Amino acid sequence: MLPVVETEEQWDAILPDEAVMRPGATALCAELGLAGLPLERFAEGSVPVYAVGREHVLKLFPAADAEDGVTEERVLTHLQGALPIPTPDVRAAGAYANGWRYVLMSRLPGEGLAPAWPRIPQTDRERIAHDCGEALAVLHALDPEPLADVLGPGDWGAFLARQRAGAVARQRERGLAEAWLEQIPDFLAAAPLSRAPQRALLHTEFMREHLLVDPADGWRLTGLIDFEPAMIGDPAYDLVAVGLFATRADPRLLGCLLAGYGRGFDPRLLMAYTLLHVYSHLPWYLRELKPVSRTLDDLAEEWFGVA
C-alpha cells in the first residue's frame, strides 16, 4: 500500500525511496492482474513511473496531484489513435489507497529523443522536426471541448492577465538580472497577444524529453508522452517548449518544424508566452541557451526566428 502524503516534506522523502514506493506499486500491479511482472522504475519524472514487464507503464500520482492523474487518463483516452506520433493507450486508471491515483498505460517502443539526439544525423534531425510540426498541427486541430471539464484555464484572457501581473515578480524570484526585469512590462504591453485566440488542446511541454524514437527504424518517432500538464488555449503557447527545448533555438530546425506545422508565428508572441508560461524560468533558459542578445526584442528573434 502506498503511504499517506500530506506535506511537501513527506513527498520529498517518499518520492525517491524505493523501499516505500516499490511495495505499493507491486501490490497495485497484483490488483491489476499483473502480479509477477518485473518492475523497472524510470529515472526521470516528477511522479513515480514504472515499466511493468515489456508492455505496460504504471504512473502514480499522490493525493496532492490526483487531478493530474485524471488529466492524463482523459487526455490519453481522447487522443487514442488521433496523432501521427503514437501516444500510450490507457489500460486501466483510477483511485488507489490513501488518495493516490494511477494510470496504467501501454508501453511505447523506442528510446528517449533527448539522450539519443547526439547520435542522430542532421538530415534525420530535420525530418524529426518536420514530423513534430505535423503532429503538433494535428493536436491543435482536434476539438478540445470534450476535455473542457478537466483542463484549464477556461478564460484565456483572465489567465494572461494573471500571468502578466506576476511576470516580473516570478522572474525576480528565479534570479533574473535587473537589466532583463526592467524590460518585461513594456515588452508584454507591445506583444501581439490575443485575449480570445483559437482554443486548442495544448501539450504545453512538447520537448525532446517527452518524445521517443526508434534508431533501428531510421530514427522514426515512436511516441509522445506525459500529458498531465495539458491545457486548452492559444496554439502559440505550445511553441515555447518547442523553440526552447525541442529545436533549442536552432533556426533551421524551427523552420523545419514550422514547415511541418503549416504556418509561422510572430517571434514576439512566442517570447511573450515564454515570459507568461506557467513554468517560465528565464534565467535557466539564458544559462542553457547562452544567447548573445541583450534585449527581449532581440532575444525573440534569436530564439524564435527561422532560417
Chain centroid to Cα 68, Å, comes to 13
162 — pLDDT class (breaks 50, 70, 90) = very high
**Residue in 117, 102, 67 with CA at minimum distance from that of residue 230:** 67
Query: Starting at the edge strand that comes first in sequence, how are the strands of the sheet with 101-106 ordered?
Result: 39-41, 49-52, 56-61, 101-106, 90-95
Phi, psi at 77, each rounded to 5°: -65, -40
Whole-angstrom distance, CA of residue 249 vs CA of residue 243: 6
307 pLDDT above the threshold of 90: no
Q: Can you read off the three cell numbers belonging to residue 302?
A: 534569436
The confidence band for 46, taking pLDDT boundaries of 50, 70 and 90, is confident
Residue 6 has pLDDT above 90, yes or no: no
If one counts every other C-beta atom within 10 angstroms of the C-beta of residue 35, the result is: 10
Percent of the chain residues topping a pLDDT of 70: 100
Cell of 129: 522536426
pLDDT exceeds 90 at position 137: yes
